[in-house]
A = this chain, B = another copy of it.
Amino acid sequence: MYKKIDVGRKILSANEEYALKNSRFFAEHKQLCLNMISSPGSGKTTILTKTITELKGKIKIGVIEGDIQTDLDTQRIRATNAPAIQIETQGACHLSAAQVGTALEKLPIEKLDLIFIENVGNLVCPAAFELGETGKVAVLSVAEGDDKPAKYPAIFAKAKAMLINKIDLLKVPGLVDFDIEKAKADARKLNRDIKIFPVSAKTGEGFADWCRWLVESVSNLRQ
């Protein structure tokens, strides 16, 4: 006869073990770490370079770049003089917590206020793998259509914030059909507390609010 033994804790997957280790690391260092998740080409890297430039002298940002292949994005981040570590996943569709842990050892943590993780461009898989981050940020470009929160709910349900990018495309009448209020309402149906920032990383529109939220989030964590 078998006897049921209550082990008293959830059995963690290997990824969850590494994620827990990363999240303890961020807590100890009072580090804000945001995991950026989106489809390919929504503008994550351009958002990051613009954010780093806008916040220069205010908060110090480091970046962990995830890509399937190439270090093109890391080159773009380093051009802003921010430290950036590239992870090439060699085909894998999401970053793992172990990869992030290894990258963290290479960043000058003590000199940073905020670490961005730019996940592999994929609106699906990265949402299911915790990296130990403080929060997730979903990015949706208006060129992708306003039906994406309804069709790909997982990331919008979990994200602390959502950037609706490329709003400059909406200025040309009839070019792109995207109802910002519909996208916002659909995201809020999944996640009542999600912060939503319509922005254009190209023109800088909307960046004041987004950057203010970042500065406040860093400051809240350090109090």
- A contacts, CB < 8 Å to B: 39-42, 67-70, 72, 91, 93, 120-125, 128, 141, 143-145, 147-148, 150-154, 166, 168-169, 172, 175-176
Contact = CB atoms under 8 A, between A and B. Distances in A.
A192 to B, nearest CB: 19
A49 to B, nearest CB: 14
A41 B121 contact: no
A150 B40 contact: no
Nearest to A123: B40
Contacts of A169: 143, 169, 175-176
B122 A123 contact: yes
A133 to B, nearest CB: 20
> Chain A contact residues: over half helix, strand or loop, or mixed?
loop
Contacts of A68: 124, 151-154
Given A39-B40, A123-B122, A169-B175, A151 B67 contact: yes
- Sort A-B residue pairs by CB-CB distance and give the 10 closest, nearest first: A41-B144, A143-B143, A93-B124, A39-B39, A39-B40, A41-B145, A93-B125, A40-B123, A122-B124, A70-B151
A151 B39 contact: no
26 contacts: A40-B123, A41-B143, A41-B144, A41-B145, A41-B148, A67-B151, A68-B153, A68-B154, A69-B150, A69-B151, A70-B147, A70-B150, A70-B151, A72-B150, A93-B93, A93-B122, A121-B123, A122-B124, A122-B125, A143-B143, A143-B166, A143-B169, A168-B175, A169-B169, A169-B175, A172-B175
A153 to B, nearest CB: 6
